Structure 1
């Protein structure tokens, strides 16, 4: 299992529109083979921050979907990004 987590920052006045513009990508990801979860959400404390969380069954599933990233317009709105990829070897119930 692979998890991609982190955040991107956009101009605070553009954040809501940016997230609305991502709705189709979230839908595509969630219906993609191997996608276990995919979420982009407004941070409750930082008006510029968008939290990113993706969970995939395999690296192949992740890479197959990864070919589609943000549009040029969306990419131009990103001020900064901090993302990490986590390789999960086991999962246990709490």
Structure 2
């Protein structure tokens, strides 16, 4: 079952961009891990110092492997050097996955008949 991780990390606004730029090796390492579907950090264009985190993992085993990986531990140490103010990052287990748009290009809020 897919696992999503999403949230925000707030840094000293003067240092947030450097946290991402200099964290590139950790992002790349995570993207190469078995079971990583997506892994991204992005600056919020409206909230100075805020970084959005988005990850997608194949399943709990893949996420567990990520948490054991040396790059994960190094990344946590890395982030602490940039004026970390706070964070709110959560994980979500997905029981259904579907396209937002149906065959006619209409956005659908339901999951009926749209399994991927």
TM-score (norm 1): 0.92
Structure 1's unaligned 5+ residue stretches are none
If asked which structure has higher relative contact order (CA below 8 Å, sep 6+), I would say: 1
- Superposed CA RMSD: 1.3
More helix by share: 1
For this pair of structures, how many residues does the alignment match? Answer: 94
1:75 aligns with 80
TM-score (norm 2): 0.75
| 2:9 equivalent to 1:8 | yes
State the SS of the aligned residue for 1:80.
strand
More strand by share: 1
Deviation string 1:3-46 (CA, Å, 9 cap, x unpaired) is 01000000000011111121011111111100000000000001
